[in-house]
Amino acid sequence: MEKLTKPKYINPNCTECSTTLVLLDTLNNSESEYVFIDEWACPKCYDGSTIYMDWSQEYIDEINRRAEEATNHPENMIPWEDVRYSMYKKLGLTDEEIEQKIKETEEEVKNMTDEDWEEFDKSIKVIRNVKID
């Protein structure tokens, strides 16, 4: 696959230091064969949590629209278990592996304290890096 060198929708430079952003997976030396093409980070400022999402305005509008729809009509929503299942299916996991993964996550969530949740909320900071042109 062709390697992405620049985000598509957002300003390709860091808002703090103007360094050119790189794919987050490149910074993390991710061994995964999947690279998230919409997650970017500054090689100088990256602190393990600040990332830039390369989303178009249309996509953000769509997310906001769906969030509103979910708030107004919770009865129309697809259960999270179903979403998760089809996500894992798309990644090529077998039913057995999916069941295992879901069990593991449930176990993890059960053992999380209030402090853990607070950490979790703080753990990802997304910057909306608006393109200037």
List residues binding Zn ion (CB under 5 A): 14, 16-17, 19, 42, 44-45
Instruction: Residue 10: count other Cβ atoms within 10 Å of its Cβ.
Output: 22
Minimum distance from residue 50 beta carbon to Zn ion (Å): 9
- Closest CB to Zn ion among residues 8, 44: 44
Minimum distance from residue 86 beta carbon to Zn ion (Å): 36
Q: Which residue is nearest to Zn ion (CB)?
A: 14
Minimum distance from residue 3 beta carbon to Zn ion (Å): 21
Minimum distance from residue 56 beta carbon to Zn ion (Å): 23
- In angstroms, rounded to a whole number, what is the distance separating the alpha carbons of residues 124 and 53? 11
**Tokens read off for 43:** 């090689």
- Closest CB to Zn ion among residues 19, 88: 19
Minimum distance from residue 46 beta carbon to Zn ion (Å): 8
CA atoms within 13 A on the CB side of 131: 12
- Closest CB to Zn ion among residues 44, 125: 44
Place of tokens 């030396």: 29
- Closest CB to Zn ion among residues 14, 38: 14
Place of tokens 């249309």: 58
Place of tokens 């600040």: 50
Place of tokens 């979910």: 70
Q: Give how far the C-alpha of residue 42 lies from the chain's centroid of Cα atoms, to the nearest Å.
A: 16
- Closest CB to Zn ion among residues 35, 50: 50
